Structure 1
C-alpha cells in the first residue's frame, strides 16, 4: 500500500527525497530542535516555528522537515503540486520514531505535553548577578583593610543588633559620604562578615557603568533571589504570584516589594527565625541621569520596613546628593525614622589611611622584583604622612 504525501509548493532536493526524509526523521537535530524550520503546512494549517525550540512540535514539523536550511541547499527537481509516493510502512516507520508521535489507521498522532506548572524562571531572568556579594568579574569588589573602619563597622553592627532585638524602632540605616570615602568597601566588609556569621543579608550593589545594575529594574528580583535561599518555603508563594500576575516584574518597585517579598514572607511567618537585612549600596549610581528611581527606591524600602510583622531591616549607602537627601527628609516629614552616619573626620579616616598605606608599601618592599633597590628604611614616616595628607580622607586616592 502507498500513501500520497502532498509536498505542494515545497522546495525538494535533487537527491533522493525518501532518503532525506528518512535521515531527517532519525537525526538528533530533527528530533530535538527544529528551530531553523521557518514554516510548515500541516493538515492544511500554517504553523510558525520561527525562533522557537520545537521539541514538543517535532511530530508535526517532520512532515515538512525537508524545507529546513540544514537539509536543503539545492533548487527543486520536482514541479509544484507534484505528489511523492511512499510506502505506508516507510511512512509509519519514520513517523513512529518521532518523539511523542505514532501512526494508527493512516492517522498521524502527536502527543504534546504542556508544562503549566508555575516556576521561578521569570524571576531568574531578571536577576543581576554582578550586583550580588562576591560575584566574579566585578570592578568594585573591594574590602576594608584589616584594622580599618572598625568604628564605622561597629556602629552598623550595633544598629543591626538593636533593630533586630527591638531596642530601636529605626529599621533603616543610611551610610553616607563623599565619593571615594570607602562606602562600598565598608558595605562589602559588613556583608561578608554577616554572611560568615550566619546572618541573613541580601545585597545589591549599584554600579554606574554596568548596564545590568545601574537601574532599579533588577533590584527586587535580585534581592528576592537571595532571600529565597534563606527561606525556600517561600518559593511556592512566589511562584503562585508570578503565575497569577505575569507582569508583576514590570510593576513599580514598591509594588514588587509588596507582592514578591512582603506577601510571600508573611505566608511563612512562623518560619522567619531571624531578621533579614537588605543592603543597597551606591544608590546614587542608580539611574544617575534621571534620578527619579532613587527617590522611588527609597520610598519603597521605607514602606517595606514599615511592615512590623516582618523582620526586615535596610542598610542604604550612597553619596549625600541633594535628591537623595531630600528623599530622606521627606521620609522624616512623613513620620519615618532612620539612623544615619556620615563618613567625615570624626571617624578618623587619616588614621585608617595611614595604616592602609603603610601596609601596602611594606608589601611592595617584600614582594616587588626591584625591591632590592629600595633603602632599608623605606618607606619613611615622612613619605607615609605626605600620602595621607594628600588623600584628604579619601581611601580611593590610595587604592588607585
Structure 2
C-alpha cells in the first residue's frame, strides 16, 4: 500500500474518498516508526534516525485509532501529585530551617550525597512528629552546595498530597523538565505504550527509574541524581509506603553503580522501622535520627525562639525597642518547654506574633500559662495558643482505629498521670494493664511518631514514653483534645482496677525468694503466700535476663503503691478494712515517706471507730507497755484539745505556746471554749515534743494501766491514741496521736494478730 523512500511516507491520492486506505497507511507508517526498538531508544548513546515527512515538527494533534500525542509531558503532568515538588507554589513558603540551625545535620546529609558509593545510596532521616524533618529536606533541596546534576522530590502530606501511586510519575515529570535526554526516553516509552501512565507503581519504577538510569549510558554517566521523598509515612496507605521502600532498596542493592541517591524522611512508624531493620537492607542506607531531646536540637530551638522574639519586638510599634521584653526567665521557660521540638516552638511564636489576636505581651503570657498548666477557659480550640500543635496531635490520634483505641487509651492514661506506672518497663506496664504484646503494639503502632517505645526483645529493659511533654499536656486538657473530662480521675480509676486485680490474686502476700522487696514507702514483707497466681497477659517466653516472677513482683509493688497514693490523698475508695489491713500487715518496715497519719486517721475517726474495733484493727493496751524513747522525731504528732472558756479566767496555763509556728485549726478566741487541732514535727517544735514526753512519763508513773487505743502493724511501728484529762485543771481533755515502736512480744500480749 505504501512505498518507503528516505523515511518519507506519501499519502494516498484521495484520502477524502479512501478512508480505509488512509487508515492502512497510518498503521503501516507507525509500524515502521516503532521498529526502532525501546532498547535503541533507552540504551544507545547514538542519536536516533531523524524522521522527516508529514509528521515532522507536528504538534497538538491526535490520530484516532492510534496513539500519538504532540505533548506527552502534559499527559504526564496530569498523573502527578499536584504541589509535591520542593519548589511548588502550593507549598510556598515551604518549611525551612531557621538560619544558623540544623547545621550539623545538613552538613552530614550533603556529605553523604556527595560521597556515598556502591550500594549504600539511601539516607533515612527519621524523627518524631514536629522535629522539623521537612524543613531539613527542604534546605537540602535548596542548598547551593548540592553536589548533583539534577534532583526531584515528593513532599507527601496528608493534606491532599498523599497518593503513593503517583509518586514515581511525579518524580519522572520533574526529571524530564531538567534533562532533555531523560525526557526523550520517557516520551518514547509513553508514546509506545500510553497505558504505562495507568500501570502499577512497580512498572512505573522499572520504566521511569530503573531502565533509563541503568540501561541508558548517557543518563547513567551524566552525574549524580538526588531524589527526595519526604513524609513517606503520610503516603495514603501502608502498601504504597512499603512498595516504594522495596523498589528503592532493590535498585540500590542490584545496581550499585546507579547514579541516584535517595534522601527519605519519615516518622519512626513500625512498618518503616521494621523495613530498615532487616539485615539485608542495612548495607544500603545510613540513618540520620533527628532527636527531640538532644543538646543540639535544644540549642537550635532556643536560637530560633530568641531570633523570632527579637523580630516580633522590632515589628510591634507598641513595644519599646529598649525594653527588656521578653524577660529572660520567660524566654528560658519557653525554650525549656519546647525542648528540641520545633513544632512546639513554631506554634508558640505564631501565636505570640499574631496581630489578629491582641498584643505580643499578653499572648506570651497566654503561652506561659499553658506551660504552667493554668487552664484557659472560654477559648475556642482554634484560638488556643497551641492550636497548630493540637491539630497535629489530633490528626495522629485520629489514625487509631476504634477497636484499637481502647488499648491506646489505657496506655495514654497510664502515661498521663500515674508516675509509678509510667516509670516501669513496657513489659510490666502491659501486664499491669492486662494487655497482650499484640494488643500493646497494635495500640502503639499508630502513635510511633509521638511515643518512644522498645522492641519486644527489649520490652523488659525499656519503657514507653512520649517524645515530648506537650502530648501529655494535650490529652490532659479536655478543651483541647476531648480525650477525657477528668483525666486524673479516669487514670486513677484505671489504676485502682489494676491494683485490686493484682491484690485479689495475691491475698496472702508474695514470696519470690531472695530479692528486693523495697518500695518508696517501705519494704514489703515476704509470705505467707507466694504470689504465683498473679495472672500475666504478657509472660516471658524466652531467656532475656528477666522472668515472670520479676514481673509479678513489680505488679505487686505497683499495686501497693496505688493503695498508698490513694490513702495519702484521702480517696474514699481505699477507706475500708481490706486496704487498712493490707497496709498494716504486709510491710516489714515503713520508710519516712510512708503516709502514717493518712493510714491512722481513718480507724481512729469517731464515726468509724466501733467498726474498726469490731474488725480487730484497733486494740487496747496499757500505757506501761509504751517505750517513750521509741517515738521517732521525723514522724508528725497530732494534738487535739478541748478546754472550756471558764478555765481562761483562772491561773491555768494556756496550752498554746505563742512561740509555736505550726498551724492550729478550730476555735480558741477570748471568752470561747478552746477546741482546736494541731500537727507538729518533733524535730521542728521542741516545746511541744518535750511536753508530750513529760505528760506521757507523768501519766505512766501515776497511772501505768491507763488505757491506750493502738493500731498495730507488722512493722512494729504502731499508732497510739493517748487521751487524758489534764491533772492541773481536771477539766481540759487532751488527745495525742503519735507513732512509736511496740515490740513483737508486747503486740502479741495485747491481742495483735499481725
Give the TM-score of the pair, scaled to structure 1. 0.65
Asked whether the equivalents of residues 172 and 313 of structure 1 are also in contact (C-alpha less than 8 Å), the reply is yes
The answer to whether the 8 A contact 1:283-1:317 is kept is: yes
Shift of 1:335: 6.5
Give 1:1-400 correspondences, 5 Å limit.
114=63, 116-118=67-69, 119-138=72-91, 141-163=94-116, 166=117, 169-194=119-144, 199-210=149-160, 213-271=161-219, 272-287=221-236, 290-306=237-253, 307-330=255-278, 332-333=279-280, 336-344=283-291, 345-346=293-294, 348-372=296-320, 376-400=323-347
4+ residue segments displaced more than 6 Å? 195-198
Counterpart-to-counterpart distance in 2, 1:327 and 1:196: 28
Structure 1 residues 356 and 186: CA distance shift in structure 2, 3 A: same
Change (3 A) 1:386 1:267: same
- What SS is found at the alignment partner of 1:130? coil
How far, CA to CA, are the matches of 2:114 and 2:62 in structure 1? 51
**Helix, strand or coil at the partner of 1:214:** coil
Specify whether residues 136 and 260 from structure 1 end up closer, same or farther in structure 2 by C-alpha distance, changes over 3 A only: same
Query: Quick check: 152-161 or 243-252, which moved more?
Result: 243-252
Deviations 1:257-315, CA, capped at 9 Å, x for gaps: 1111222234542354211011000001011xx42211111111222334334301101
Do the aligned residues in 1 keep the contact of 2:155 with 2:231 (CA within 8 Å)? yes
* TM superposition shift of 1:324: 0.9
User: How many matched pairs?
Assistant: 281
Query: Which residue of 1 is the match for residue 513 of structure 2?
Result: none
Instruction: Name the residue aligned to 2:595.
Output: none
Looking at structure 2, the residues matched to 284 and 207 of structure 1 have their Cα atoms a distance apart, in angstroms, of 9
Contact 1:216/1:286 (8 A) holds in 2: yes
The answer (yes or no) to whether the contact 1:203–1:278 under 8 Å persists in 2 is yes
Give the deviation of 1:347 after TM superposition: 5.8
Q: Is the 8 A contact 1:304 1:312 kept in 2?
A: no
Structure 1 pair 113/183, CA: closer, same or farther in 2 (3 Å)? closer
String of CA shifts for 1:235-264, please: whole Å, max 9, x gaps: 222122213332223333222111112222
Q: Hey, what's the Cα distance between the residues in 2 that align with 1:197 and 1:173?
A: 15
Q: Secondary structure at the match of 1:226?
A: helix
Distance 1:341 1:197, change over 3 A: closer
Larger Rg: 1 or 2?
A: 2
Q: After TM superposition, give the deviation of residue 370 of structure 1 in Å.
A: 2.4
Cα distance, 1:114–1:333 mapped onto 2, change above 3 Å:
closer
Give the distance between the partners of 1:351 and 1:274, measured in 2 at CA. Answer: 37
Aligned 8 A contact 1:152 1:347 in 2: no
Mark the CA change 1:378 to 1:197 in structure 2 (over 3 Å): closer, same or farther.
farther
Q: Secondary structure at the match of 1:341?
A: strand
- The answer to whether the 8 Å contact 1:208/1:214 transfers is yes
CA distance in 1, matches of 2:282, 2:130: 32
Name the SS for the 1:173 alignment partner. Answer: strand
SS in 2 for 1:237: helix
Cα distance in 2 between the residues matched to 1:113 and 1:240: 16
Q: Which has the higher contact order (CA 8 A, sep 6+)?
A: 1
Relative distance call for 1:395 and 1:176 in structure 2 (3 A) is same
Shift of 1:195: 8.1
CA 1:214–1:337: 2 relative to 1, 3 Å: same
TM-score, reference length from structure 2:
0.35
Equivalent-residue separation in structure 2 for 1:197 and 1:206 (angstroms): 24
Q: Contact 1:151 / 1:347 at 8 angstroms: preserved in 2?
A: no
Report how far residue 169 of structure 1 moved: 4.0
Distance 2:250 2:119 in 1: 14
Compared CA separation, residues 241 and 180, structure 1 to 2 (3 A): same
CA drift of 1:201 comes to 1.7
Paired residues of 1:174 and 1:317 also in contact (CA < 8 A) = yes
Post-superposition offset of 1:199: 4.4
Instruction: For residue 334 of structure 1, report the CA deviation from its aligned partner.
Output: 5.5
Distance of 1:369 and 1:180 partners within structure 2: 32
Q: Quickly say closer, same or farther: Cα 1:207–1:215, change in 2 above 3 A.
A: same
In 2, distance between residues paired with 1:313 and 1:132? 17
Q: Output the CA distance in 1 between the equivalents of 2:82 and 2:280.
A: 36
Secondary structure of the residue that 1:354 maps to in structure 2?
A: helix
CA distance in 1, matches of 2:143, 2:149: 9
Change in CA separation of 1:334 and 1:279 when aligned onto 2, cut-off 3 Å: closer
- Closer/same/farther in 2, CA of residues 366 and 196 from structure 1, 3 Å limit: farther
CA distance in 1, matches of 2:158, 2:256: 33
- Structure 1 residues 387, 199: CA separation in 2 closer, same or farther (over 3 Å shift)? farther
Report SS of the residue matched to 2:91. coil
